Chains A and B, each alone.
Chain A
Amino acid sequence: MQDVVNQVINTSFGWGWPSWAIALIGYLIVAALLFGIAPFQMLFLTLYERRAIARMQDRIGPNRVGPEGMFQPLADGVKIFTKEDIVPTAADQWVHFIAPCVVVAPTMFMFAVLPWGPGMVPVDMNLGLLFFFAISSVSAVGLMMAGWASSNKFALVGAMRAVAQMVSYEIPAVLSLLAIVLVTGSLSIVELINYQGGLFISTRDVASVPDWGLGWFIFSPVGFLAFIAFFIAALAEGERTPFDIPEADSEIVAGYMTEYSGMKFGLFYLAQYVLNFLLCAITSIIFFGGWQGPGVGWLYAQAITPVNPQGGWVFNVLAGVLGVFYFLTKTYGFFFVMVWIRGAYARLRIDQLMDFGWKFLIPLTLVNIFSAAIWVGLTKWGAADGLAFVEGWSPLVRWAAAFGVTLALNLGAYLFLARIFAQSQDERARQDDDVLEQLTNVA
């Protein structure tokens, strides 16, 4: 963005502004865009979800307000704005007031590190991925504040459950991403996307692969297992079915949102949808290449970039449009999968949820990290790092060896852990005779 602004102002108009001004303008434009995009995403996603889930339930969703219900979210927004804001007198006024902000603000922050197209990232941080998850963990504090400040025991219990769920599923999420970070060697999201050029095999792994933008991580065993684990963890983080105990209608009133009405409830709602959008976006970025797709890399190579300041601005626009199209297609596709899962599955109980997270997903992701390390060793290391025997092999052979080993390891680990977990769950359900008798004092 700054380069485009620089080009426009300095070169085309020849005003010659200092670079800090250009930087400032660039950031302001981007911030304004993001401020508009985030609520728009939420509006669109609410409509999208309602239409999709309605079709899954053999009915049509909202289609009265505007063509195909396009203005339904606006009507919902007006409704929420005009509702009375009721605050219980026993509630902690300040904390009750600030809690929705603490829940919503991090979701807005997370837009800062999301690349929408090639070169279209608001802030290119070296630690973008870590920033993303650090900020998302702040909203858990907001949940606690909301539950406590309502001075309602159901809200408190609901908030504790929600926070326990969020915190315990952050671990498998971050651990599964850690495997990908191991493979790429960088925490920068932009770098992660750039790594995924190629054709089912990333060009960084095997340089002779043509760059069609399809060298996604999902096509490797490490990435596949990480994707499964991450998507499940993202469902739990965003409080979607089957992990939607805090927000489901028939559960514990409305959980931590019980005592909120009007726009404060609207803010919680907004935060939930924006967070889900962001999680879908991160899924598509890390495992499916984000804006990577056939054509984008080639177009961007001829655009104005920091390495190529003489490019044509047309290519910027084209690459941007195509990149954003791929990115949004993948993101909305993942959101459709989230809605699909919501339409298909029943809810997990809180104890089943915690068991699944701690006892199944975390061991699985730990094994995945191990296989990621093996992958890195087999594809990248040489004699200097201690693996002399791989140095003689060609890159393709190295890739194939890594693929095979990690596939075997991941598959074996999944089957093994699944069996153990299933057995433990069955064990839990069964009651032994002596235990029963002990409990009931029946001879």
Chain B
Amino acid sequence: MTTETQHGSVIVMDRRRGKLRAGQGLLQGLRVVWDHWAGSFRKNDNFSKIHGTFTVEYPEERLPMPQAYRNMPVLLFDDESGHELCTGCYQCQRICPPQVIHITQAKDPVTGKMVPAATEFIIEYDACMSCGFCAEVCPFDSIKMDHVYELSTANRAALTMRKAQLNRSISYYTGIAPGLWAEVQAGAMKKLQGSIKRRPDVIGLAASLTEKIKARRLELAAAAAAAPAAAAVSAPAAPAAPAAKLTPEEKAAKLAAMKAANANKGAAPAPAEAPVALSPADAKAAKLAAIKAANANKGAAPAPAEAPVALSPADAKAAKLAAIKAANAAKQAEAAPVSVETAVATAPLDAKAARLAAIKAANAAKLAAEQGNNE
């Protein structure tokens, strides 16, 4: 009785209802309502049908959110490499209307230069209005709008989210908004590769991926172990070498070489302020400097026991540890505490301190080698 014809995107339904006699309209109305009542015992899954219950029984069932639904921003990290896409460029912090984003960009501890990564990323979820401007403006597609709306809590402080809580893998984002990610994927990954190249050490790896961090550290250590030989060989010829794109480790080695050179040239003994709390990079640099100093001072034929070149990784670690211990001992030898910054600042200029540390390190290395030989 009801004919449906389609004109373009419009469906015309012609319900052939005869001429209504007295009282018939009322009964037909009752009939329509009865059909709805009887039909409502099934659930309506297709919104173009008119019978069936439309109710979504929250919280057992939830309505699927559209892809572009935005509620609360999150940071993305790449699944395979483990690197966060965020470079700490401050664009989202600038544009955020309620100013709830607080970023601390990462700094290279060795060189002091900014690294395209963020050490800390805070968003105050309780004040965030989910406008999505941060996601719109991010040049690296690293901050995206999540779909969670069940954030009620009695603990207001818990709504201040830090980077660890904001990190989500890209696969998570692909799960909630595949179309949106597909549009920007290529560009984002390209920019990510660029950022990865400029990030030293484990900076930029998502903090939750401890395995990846460990693996990277091992990688770097292995590279550092292999690198000094190459660096030692190329060091005499290095100063005039063309400044090609150096990895952070190479840059650190170059810097140490320069420091060693300055240390040799430097005559005036600076006050004995030992560098304190040497980071592994600093210890490595100190070690390298020690080696170079030893080489320069003692000639081209270093004693086998003093040559840490052939040291196994374990021994290298021991030597490193010894260097740290020497540094710590030097620090404790002093009475006045020295701030780390001044120590770091004065260390490169501190030729005598470096030499002292180097001698101590050499002694310690000799001791360790002897002990190793004894065992």
Chain A interfacial positions (CB closer than 8 Å to B): 52, 54-60, 63, 340-341, 343-345, 415, 418-419, 422
Of B49-57, B229-237, B285-293, B307-315, the one touching chain A? B49-57
Question: Is B29 within 8 A of A55, CB to CB?
Answer: no
Given A57-B36, A340-B33, residue A345 in contact with residue B55 (CB < 8 A):
no
Q: What are 21 A-B interface contacts by the 8 Å CB criterion?
A: A54-B40, A55-B36, A55-B53, A56-B33, A58-B39, A58-B44, A58-B51, A58-B52, A58-B53, A58-B54, A59-B40, A59-B53, A63-B57, A340-B30, A340-B33, A340-B34, A344-B32, A344-B33, A345-B29, A415-B22, A418-B23
How near does chain A come to B13, taking the closest CB pair, in angstroms?
18
Question: Is A344 within 8 A of B22, CB to CB?
Answer: no
How near does chain A come to B47, taking the closest CB pair, in angstroms?
11
Seed contacts A415-B22, A418-B22; 18 additional CB < 8 Å A-B pairs: A55-B53, A56-B33, A56-B40, A58-B39, A58-B44, A58-B50, A58-B51, A58-B53, A59-B54, A60-B53, A63-B57, A340-B33, A340-B37, A341-B30, A343-B37, A344-B26, A344-B29, A344-B33
Query: In whole angstroms, how far apart are the Cα atoms of A344 and B52 in the complex?
Result: 17
Given A60-B55, A418-B22, A422-B22, residue A55 in contact with residue B32 (CB < 8 A):
no
- Residue in chain B with minimal CB distance to A336: B37
How near does chain B come to A411, taking the closest CB pair, in angstroms?
12
How near does chain B come to A38, taking the closest CB pair, in angstroms?
28
How near does chain A come to B26, taking the closest CB pair, in angstroms?
7
Enumerate chain A residues within 8 angstroms of B41, measured Cβ to Cβ.
55
Question: Is B40 within 8 A of A55, CB to CB?
Answer: yes
- A-B Cβ contacts below 8 A, count: 49
Enumerate chain A residues within 8 angstroms of B53, measured Cβ to Cβ.
55, 58-60
How near does chain B come to A426, taking the closest CB pair, in angstroms?
13
Sort A-B residue pairs by CB-CB distance and give the 3 closest, nearest first. Answer: A344-B33, A55-B40, A56-B37
How near does chain A come to B60, taking the closest CB pair, in angstroms?
10
How near does chain A come to B50, taking the closest CB pair, in angstroms?
8
Number of residues on chain B facing chain A (CB within 8 A):
21
How near does chain B come to A42, taking the closest CB pair, in angstroms?
23
How near does chain B come to A348, taking the closest CB pair, in angstroms?
12
Enumerate chain A residues within 8 angstroms of B23, measured Cβ to Cβ.
418
- Residue in chain B with minimal CB distance to A228: B23
Question: Is B29 within 8 A of A59, CB to CB?
Answer: no
Query: In whole angstroms, how far apart are the Cα atoms of A217 and B22 in the complex?
Result: 24
Query: In whole angstroms, how far apart are the Cα atoms of A60 and B57 in the complex?
Result: 9
Query: In whole angstroms, how far apart are the Cα atoms of A344 and B36 in the complex?
Result: 10
Query: In whole angstroms, how far apart are the Cα atoms of A57 and B32 in the complex?
Result: 11
Question: Is B44 within 8 A of A344, CB to CB?
Answer: no
Enumerate chain B residues within 8 angstroms of A57, measured Cβ to Cβ.
36
Question: Is A344 within 8 A of B55, CB to CB?
Answer: no
Question: Is B26 within 8 A of A345, CB to CB?
Answer: yes
Query: In whole angstroms, how far apart are the Cα atoms of A343 and B36 in the complex?
Result: 10
Enumerate chain A residues within 8 angstroms of B37, measured Cβ to Cβ.
52, 55-56, 340, 343
- Residue in chain A with minimal CB distance to B52: A58
Query: In whole angstroms, how far apart are the Cα atoms of A422 and B23 in the complex?
Result: 11
Enumerate chain A residues within 8 angstroms of B51, measured Cβ to Cβ.
58
Enumerate chain A residues within 8 angstroms of B55, measured Cβ to Cβ.
59-60
Given A55-B40, A56-B36, residue A344 in contact with residue B30 (CB < 8 A):
yes
Query: In whole angstroms, how far apart are the Cα atoms of A340 and B44 in the complex?
Result: 21
Enumerate chain A residues within 8 angstroms of B54, measured Cβ to Cβ.
58-59
How near does chain A come to B182, taking the closest CB pair, in angstroms?
36
Query: In whole angstroms, how far apart are the Cα atoms of A341 and B44 in the complex?
Result: 24
Contacting residues of chain B (35-76) with chain A, CB-CB under 8 angstroms? 36-37, 39-41, 44, 50-55, 57
Query: In whole angstroms, how far apart are the Cα atoms of A161 and B22 in the complex?
Result: 28
Query: In whole angstroms, how far apart are the Cα atoms of A345 and B52 in the complex?
Result: 20
How near does chain B come to A245, taking the closest CB pair, in angstroms?
19
How near does chain A come to B80, taking the closest CB pair, in angstroms?
45
Enumerate chain B residues within 8 angstroms of A340, measured Cβ to Cβ.
30, 33-34, 37
How near does chain B come to A338, taking the closest CB pair, in angstroms?
12
How near does chain B come to A336, taking the closest CB pair, in angstroms?
9
Enumerate chain A residues within 8 angstroms of B30, measured Cβ to Cβ.
340-341, 344
Enumerate chain B residues within 8 angstroms of A55, measured Cβ to Cβ.
36-37, 40-41, 53
Given A55-B40, A58-B53, A59-B40, residue A343 in contact with residue B33 (CB < 8 A):
yes
Query: In whole angstroms, how far apart are the Cα atoms of A54 and B57 in the complex?
Result: 14
Query: In whole angstroms, how far apart are the Cα atoms of A54 and B55 in the complex?
Result: 10
- Residue in chain B with minimal CB distance to A56: B37
Query: In whole angstroms, how far apart are the Cα atoms of A335 and B166 in the complex?
Result: 56
Query: In whole angstroms, how far apart are the Cα atoms of A58 and B41 in the complex?
Result: 9
Contacting residues of chain B (7-43) with chain A, CB-CB under 8 angstroms? 22-23, 26, 29-30, 32-34, 36-37, 39-41
Query: In whole angstroms, how far apart are the Cα atoms of A279 and B53 in the complex?
Result: 31
Query: In whole angstroms, how far apart are the Cα atoms of A60 and B39 in the complex?
Result: 12
Enumerate chain B residues within 8 angstroms of A422, measured Cβ to Cβ.
22
Enumerate chain B residues within 8 angstroms of A60, measured Cβ to Cβ.
40, 53, 55, 57
Enumerate chain A residues within 8 angstroms of B33, measured Cβ to Cβ.
56, 340, 343-344
- Residue in chain B with minimal CB distance to A61: B55
Enumerate chain B residues within 8 angstroms of A343, measured Cβ to Cβ.
33, 37
Query: In whole angstroms, how far apart are the Cα atoms of A58 and B35 in the complex?
Result: 10
- Residue in chain A with minimal CB distance to B43: A60
Question: Is B22 within 8 A of A58, CB to CB?
Answer: no
Residue picked from B26, B30, B33, B54, most chain A C-beta under 10 Å: B33
Query: In whole angstroms, how far apart are the Cα atoms of A343 and B53 in the complex?
Result: 15
How near does chain B come to A361, taking the closest CB pair, in angstroms?
14
Partner of A58, one of B29, B34, B40: B40
Query: In whole angstroms, how far apart are the Cα atoms of A415 and B52 in the complex?
Result: 38
Query: In whole angstroms, how far apart are the Cα atoms of A379 and B36 in the complex?
Result: 45
How near does chain B come to A157, taking the closest CB pair, in angstroms?
29
- Residue in chain B with minimal CB distance to A345: B29
How near does chain A come to B284, taking the closest CB pair, in angstroms?
64
Query: In whole angstroms, how far apart are the Cα atoms of A340 and B39 in the complex?
Result: 14
Query: In whole angstroms, how far apart are the Cα atoms of A415 and B22 in the complex?
Result: 9
Query: In whole angstroms, how far apart are the Cα atoms of A52 and B36 in the complex?
Result: 11
- Residue in chain A with minimal CB distance to B23: A418
Enumerate chain A residues within 8 angstroms of B36, measured Cβ to Cβ.
55-58
Residue picked from A52, A344, A418, most chain B C-beta under 10 Å: A344
Residue picked from A58, A60, A415, A422, most chain B C-beta under 10 Å: A58
Query: In whole angstroms, how far apart are the Cα atoms of A419 and B97 in the complex?
Result: 69
Enumerate chain B residues within 8 angstroms of A56, measured Cβ to Cβ.
33, 36-37, 40
Enumerate chain A residues within 8 angstroms of B26, measured Cβ to Cβ.
344-345
How near does chain B come to A324, taking the closest CB pair, in angstroms?
26
Residue picked from A55, A418, A419, most chain B C-beta under 10 Å: A55
Residue picked from A60, A341, A345, A418, most chain B C-beta under 10 Å: A60
Query: In whole angstroms, how far apart are the Cα atoms of A46 and B36 in the complex?
Result: 21
Query: In whole angstroms, how far apart are the Cα atoms of A93 and B274 in the complex?
Result: 91
How near does chain B come to A443, taking the closest CB pair, in angstroms?
40
Enumerate chain A residues within 8 angstroms of B32, measured Cβ to Cβ.
344
Enumerate chain A residues within 8 angstroms of B57, measured Cβ to Cβ.
60, 63
Query: In whole angstroms, how far apart are the Cα atoms of A422 and B34 in the complex?
Result: 27
Query: In whole angstroms, how far apart are the Cα atoms of A418 and B22 in the complex?
Result: 8
How near does chain B come to A231, taking the closest CB pair, in angstroms?
13
Query: In whole angstroms, how far apart are the Cα atoms of A341 and B39 in the complex?
Result: 17
How near does chain B come to A130, taking the closest CB pair, in angstroms?
32
- Residue in chain B with minimal CB distance to A53: B37
